[in-house]
Structure 1
């Protein structure tokens, strides 16, 4: 698995992600659980969907 999946996200899927989304994506290979303390409508569900796609 890549050490920085957030960088691959743009190259592979051609989509840009926010810095906080990139932090979340980059934590996936190293953390069993990830909490994302942000408000409504900032793309938590979208980035989770992209991670499992």
Structure 2
């Protein structure tokens, strides 16, 4: 993470990831796994489940 609107800090983080390929790969895999939770099908299933629980 970096401070909002702090371009220098963002650049430092990007350089760090560029140099540490293992960390970059780990971050990419975690991001991909996190994003899978928010597919259209998953979102609609969750909304449906919520509505049926409230009914």
* TM band (smaller chain): under 0.3
> 1 or 2 for the larger relative contact order (CA 8 Å, sep ≥6)?
1
Structure showing the higher helix proportion among its residues? 2
> Structure 2 length as normaliser, TM-score?
0.26
- Normalising by structure 1, we get a TM-score of 0.27
Who wins on radius of gyration, i.e. which is larger? 2
